[in-house]
Structure 1
Amino acid sequence: MASYPAFPVPADEDQRLRDLERYGLFEADSDEHFDRILDLTAAIFRTPIVALSLVEADRQWFLARRGLDVRETPREMALCAHAIVHDDVMVVPDARADERFRSNPLVFADPHIRFYAGAPLQTPEGHNLGTLCVIDREPRDLSAEQRAVLHRLAQLAMRELELRRLAHLCPVTGLPTRHTFLTIGEREFGRARRDHHPLSLLLFDVDNLRLINNRWGHAAGDRVLADLVQLARTFLQEQDFAARVGDGEFALLLVGIDADQAMALAEALRTAVTHLPGVHTHSDFRLHISGGLTTLAAQDHAFPDLILRAEKALELAKGNGRDQVASLYAGP
């Protein structure tokens, strides 16, 4: 057990970790944009060590770094693990004089941290993924103006992270695609197993997307899909996850709600779709969807078990005449 005080856990820890997963940053390589931010930060603050750190459940790792040989450290050693509980810049003028850090191996041994300042990498939703930090081997402090500059540099780094995330989204709907859906689904599957909370999966298909594209063109079809996604988002909680998994097929991963709640949500969405504004330009047209719903069961071994059942349920809904939600659940 560590001989130094435990790191504080942010109040939003569960969703913070979800956000970190959904940015797709694990083991990502640095690039020239992050390197330029670090070079600029080092030039401004004249510190031998600068880093972009990301704080996971049990470790911090460096998306980019200068002056450090290691790629990661245990979370309990990370000064950044303390910085992410703040929305402003955390400054430690002398870690040897700070009871939180003076017995930390990173302080009394290599790299011999004395001064630390970390500005949070905060998502648009307000969750701190990590920090942009500057470190020195000599005690020092930052003025209010310097703290503001470090905060602005962290915002610039966060903007690059956001641009990287956006580059992997569907350009029509703004949703992640199937590959990301499978990755996040596995993580939520594991989390639901660990925490013993429900997990539901709704797959739904736009029944008449081909008609829209053929009659009014693909631009009209794209507008319908964008409107549909905007509507679907209003039914989701922050921890839920939506993805476009096919041409007109979407997936909603519903975290923490049981089968009855998930079915009520699915039916409410199906009904709301028929009243979408902007779809009624043509009086003979009504948009409708078919859905397949399932819920995590004790005998499920992996996330694809849920996908397979939801796909079968979706086929059942289509085979029964469409414009409906069918459900399939694992047996006892």
Structure 2
Amino acid sequence: MKAPLPAVNEQQRLSALQRLNILDTPPEERFDRITRLARATFHVPIALVSLVDENRQWFKSCFGLDVRHTDRNISFCGHAIHSDALLVIENTLIDSRFHDNPLVIGNPHIRFYAGAPLHAPEGERIGTLCLIDRKPRQLDHSERKQLRQLADIVEQELVSVRSSSMDSETELSNRKGLLDLADYCLLRASQQELPLTLAVMTVERTNETTPLSHDALVYIAGALKQRLRETDVLARTGPNQFTILMVNCEDDEAEAILGAYIDIIQSEVTKLGFVENLRIQLTTEALNPANQSAKQRLEDL
């Protein structure tokens, strides 16, 4: 096993990481939504936002592992921060740097790794957005481009205030958060020639002028998040409006799936006593990801 060396600018790198004031903070949906999307898109069991501290790699967002950090001297990400290029290990068992690494011969039995370096505002490489699989695989050019684009979104979140991309009331993406991930969805759908559907749900009370309660909105947001695919991008784009961007889903299929969810949610909200006379209106439309009008349509929401 080859342990990762300190970066040439190690002290500046560590100082830049400390200035972000993010180490040892709780998980946040603004990062989890990205790792969740990465794991589902690339069909891997593990996706991480990993930050490389002095003696450890610490996971700000972690899907597929039940630990929050590992030692830096056995980390893959410690190697990845030495270059701006993606580090892709297609088969760890035939790579002299990693074949006898404890994370390879023991849990989580890493066989494939792909890490896109994350940069601090001043340019220092402080960690990665990484994918891990338990079997060897390859990452083609378009997939590498998609991973880099998701890493760029993580970098935006590292330097932004919490409210910039998230709706504080429902813990969903807000309009800006939707647009941040929309570029990635449009690229993926275009490159892989996948259908793309935009769905908009408007929640209202029939024969009532009073707004929906906080509890009702939070419940609806949670119910949608629980039922949607990890590849779907869900956002609150208005006081009573939820928007969903669905890659690899035709608009008629989306209408049928979401319509069934709406029936269930309306019944649950009434049964739980959050609100009576609830109505959720749904519209769906197919978008052409290769056409600039698709991005404009999202910006007009």
TM range (shorter): 0.5 to 0.7
Q: Which of 87, 91, 95 is equivalent to 1:90?
A: 87
Instruction: Give the CA deviation at 1:96.
Output: 1.1
What residue in structure 2 maps to residue 42 of structure 1? 39
Instruction: Give the CA deviation at 1:123.
Output: 2.0
What letter is aligned with 1:28?
A: T
What residue in structure 2 maps to residue 19 of structure 1? 16
Distance in 1, Cα, partners of 2:48 & 2:163: 23
1:37·1:153 contact (CA, 8 Å) conserved in 2?
yes
Distance in 1, Cα, partners of 2:18 & 2:152: 19
List structure 1 runs of 4+ shifted beyond 3 angstroms: 164-167
Partner secondary structure for residue 98 of structure 2: coil
Distance in 2, Cα, partners of 1:39 & 1:153: 11
2:194 pairs with 1:164? no
TM-score normalised to structure 1 length:
0.48
Instruction: Give the CA deviation at 1:125.
Output: 1.8
Distance in 1, Cα, partners of 2:83 & 2:138: 18
Partner secondary structure for residue 160 of structure 2: helix
1:122·1:129 contact (CA, 8 Å) conserved in 2?
yes
1:24·1:165 contact (CA, 8 Å) conserved in 2?
no
Partner secondary structure for residue 26 of structure 1: coil
What is the percentage of aligned positions where both structures have the same residue?
46
Q: After superposition, give the CA deviation of every residue in 1:226-271 in whole Å (9 maximum; x if it has no partner).
A: xxxxxxxxxxxxxxxxxxxxxxxxxxxxxxxxxxxxxxxxxxxxxx
Q: What is the 5 A alignment of 1:134-149?
A: 134-149=131-146
Instruction: Give the CA deviation at 1:164.
Output: 3.4
Q: Which of 77, 81, 88 is equivalent to 1:80?
A: 77
Distance in 2, Cα, partners of 1:127 & 1:14: 10
Instruction: Give the CA deviation at 1:64.
Output: 0.6
Q: After superposition, give the CA deviation of every residue in 1:193-232 in whole Å (9 maximum; x if it has no partner).
A: xxxxxxxxxxxxxxxxxxxxxxxxxxxxxxxxxxxxxxxx
Aligned residue-pair number: 164
1:23·1:165 contact (CA, 8 Å) conserved in 2?
no
1:88·1:151 contact (CA, 8 Å) conserved in 2?
no
What residue in structure 1 maps to residue 62 of structure 2? 65
What residue in structure 2 maps to residue 224 of structure 1? none
Distance in 1, Cα, partners of 2:85 & 2:162: 24
What residue in structure 1 maps to residue 3 of structure 2? 6
User: Larger RCO: Structure 1 or Structure 2 (Cα < 8 Å, ≥ 6 residues apart)?
Assistant: 2
Structure 2 unpaired stretches of 5+: 165-301
What residue in structure 2 maps to residue 245 of structure 1? none
Q: What is the 5 A alignment of 1:96-175?
A: 96-164=93-161
Instruction: Give the CA deviation at 1:86.
Output: 1.1
Give 1 or 2 for the bigger CA radius of gyration.
1
Residues 9 and 166 (structure 1), Cα distance of their counterparts in 2 relative to 1, 3 Å cut: farther
Q: CA RMSD in A?
A: 1.5
Structure 1 unpaired stretches of 5+: 168-332
What letter is aligned with 1:118?
A: G
Distance in 2, Cα, partners of 1:44 & 1:53: 19
Instruction: Give the CA deviation at 1:166.
Output: 10
Distance in 2, Cα, partners of 1:56 & 1:96: 26
Partner secondary structure for residue 126 of structure 2: strand
Distance in 2, Cα, partners of 1:45 & 1:20: 28
Distance in 2, Cα, partners of 1:73 & 1:131: 14
Of Structure 1 and Structure 2, the greater strand share is in: 2
Distance in 2, Cα, partners of 1:44 & 1:8: 31
